[in-house]
C-alpha cells in the first residue's frame, strides 16, 4: 500500500508562554537551524533567548490563534484530509511536524500500522534548504531507524518550479487581484536564512527562491518593475538574505508606492509568519511609513487547487 507523509515545521500546542518556550527550545536547538557550537549556543538559548522570546511569541500566536487551534496545524490536517479524499482510499495520507505534535515519528508510525510499504515524503517547503528540508529528512531517518521500518521511499526534495505548483500559485494571485484590484507593487516575501548559509555552506535556497518568483511572475506576465523578491523573519545581528521585507516596505512609500500586495510562496499554509508578521506587523510598518494599504494574499492552504498541485508533484509516484 502507498502512503504519503505531509511534513511541516510545527507549532506550539497553545499560545501561552510555557508551550511556546517548549516549541522554541526544540526548534532553535536543531543544528540545521542554528549551526553555532552547542557549548556556546545552548546556554544562550536556554538562559537568555527563550526567557525573552517566549512571552512575546506567545502574544503573537494569540493574535492569530483560531478557536479550534493553531492555523498551521489545522490547515495542514485539512489539506491532508483533502488529499486523502481525492485519492479515494487508494493512498493513506498522514501529517507529521518537525517540531512539536503530531510528530513525524507518530505520522510514520500510523502509516506503518496501516500497512504502507511504499512511502512518499512531502516536506511542505516548495524551496529546498538544509535548514528545513534536510531537517525533515533527519527526523524521518531517525524515526525509521527507531521503528526498524524500511519502506520503499519517494523523497520530494523541492517543487519550486514545478509547473503544477507555479500555475496554481499564479492563479491564486490572479484570482485575488480580480476580486480586490491590483496594487502599485507585488512583493514575493520568503522566509530568510543567514546569508553565510548560502555563501559559505552552499545552501541552494536563495537560487530556488529566485527561480520560483521568476517563474510565477512570468506566469502572471508581470513586468519587472511591478514586483520584488524580499526575505522576512530574520533574527539576530548577522546578515540574512536580502532585501529584507520590513525594510523594503518602510522604503516603498518614499518611492511613490501607495498600495502593496504581499504573497509568501515559501509557506504552503498560513501561519504566524504570514498571518501576524506580514498581515499585521508589516502592514502597520508600511502604513506608518506613508503607504495607504497592504493586502496579504493568502497561502494556498487547504484549497482543492493546492491538493491538486501536490498530486501533480507526485504524479510519477501515484498509482
Q: What is the pLDDT of residues 51-105, one digit of tens each?
A: 999 999 999 999 999 999 999 999 999 999 999 999 998 999 999 999 999 999 9
Write the pLDDT tens digit of every residue in 222-265: 999 999 999 999 998 999 999 999 999 999 999 999 999 999 99
- Indicate the pairing of strand 152-155 with strand 118-123: parallel
Domain-located, residue 193: yes
**How far, rounded to the nearest angstrom, does the alpha carbon of residue 74 sit from its chain's CA centroid?**
14
Is residue 63, in this structure, part of any structural domain at all? no
C-alpha cell of residue 274 = 504570514
According to the model, what pLDDT value does residue 289 have?
Answer: 98
- Confirm whether 226 is domain-assigned: yes
State the total domains in the chain: 1
Q: Residue 237 has which C-alpha cell?
A: 545581528
What are the grid coordinates assigned to 301, written together? 492552504
The answer to the question of residue 286 being in a domain is: yes
Tell whether 136 is covered by a domain.
Answer: no
**Structural domain contains residue 265:** yes
Q: Is the pTM of this model over 0.75?
A: yes
Residue 106 domain flag: no
* Residue 98 domain-assigned (yes or no): no
CATH number, residue 249? 3.40.50.1400
Range of the domain at 267: 163-297
What whole-number distance in Å separates Cα of residue 135 and Cα of residue 121?
13
Amino acid at each position: 500500500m502507498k502512503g504519503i507523509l505531509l511534513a511541516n515545521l510545527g507549532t506550539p500546542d497553545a499560545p501561552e508562554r510555557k508551550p511556546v518556550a517548549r516549541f522554541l527550545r526544540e526548534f532553535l536547538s536543531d543544528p540545521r537551524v542554528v549551526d553555532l557550537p552547542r557549548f556556546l549556543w545552548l546556554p544562550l538559548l536556554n538562559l537568555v533567548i527563550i526567557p525573552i522570546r517566549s512571552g512575546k511569541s506567545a502574544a503573537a500566536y494569540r493574535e492569530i490563534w483560531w478557536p479550534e487551534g493553531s492555523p498551521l496545524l489545522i490547515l495542514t490536517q485539512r489539506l491532508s484530509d483533502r488529499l486523502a479524499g481525492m485519492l479515494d482510499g487508494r493512498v493513506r495520507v498522514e501529517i507529521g511536524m518537525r517540531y512539536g505534535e503530531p510528530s513525524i515519528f507518530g505520522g510514520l508510525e500510523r502509516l506503518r500500522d496501516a500497512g504502507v510499504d511504499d512511502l512518499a515524503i512531502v516536506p511542505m517547503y516548495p524551496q529546498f534548504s538544509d535548514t528545513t528540508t534536510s531537517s525533515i529528512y533527519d527526523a524521518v531517518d531517525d524515526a525509521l531507524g527507531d521503528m526498524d521500518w524500511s519502506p520503499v521511499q519517494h523523497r520530494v526534495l523541492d517543487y519550486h518550479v514545478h509547473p503544477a505548483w507555479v500555475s496554481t500559485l499564479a492563479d491564486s494571485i490572479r484570482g485575488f487581484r480580480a476580486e480586490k484590484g491590483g496594487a502599485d507593487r507585488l512583493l514575493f516575501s520568503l522566509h530568510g536564512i543567514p546569508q553565510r548559509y548560502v555563501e559559505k555552506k552552499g545552501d541552494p535556497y536563495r537560487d530556488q527562491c529566485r527561480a520560483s518568483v521568476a517563474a510565477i511572475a512570468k506566469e502572471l506576465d508581470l513586468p519587472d518593475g511591478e514586483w520584488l523578491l524580499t526575505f522576512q523573519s530574520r533574527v539576530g545581528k548577522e546578515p540574512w538574505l536580502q532585501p529584507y521585507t520590513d525594510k523594503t516596505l518602510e522604503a516603498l512609500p518614499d518611492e511613490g508606492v501607495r498600495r502593496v500586495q504581499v504573497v509568501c510562496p515559501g509557506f504552503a499554509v498560513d501561519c504566524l509568519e504570514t498571518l501576524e508578521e506580514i498581515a499585521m506587523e508589516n502592514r502597520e510598518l508600511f502604513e506608518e511609513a506613508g503607504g495607504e494599504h497592504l493586502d496579504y494574499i493568502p497561502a494556498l492552504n487547504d484549497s482543492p487547487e493546492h491538493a491538486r498541485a501536490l498530486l501533480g508533484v507526485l504524479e510519477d509516484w501515484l498509482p
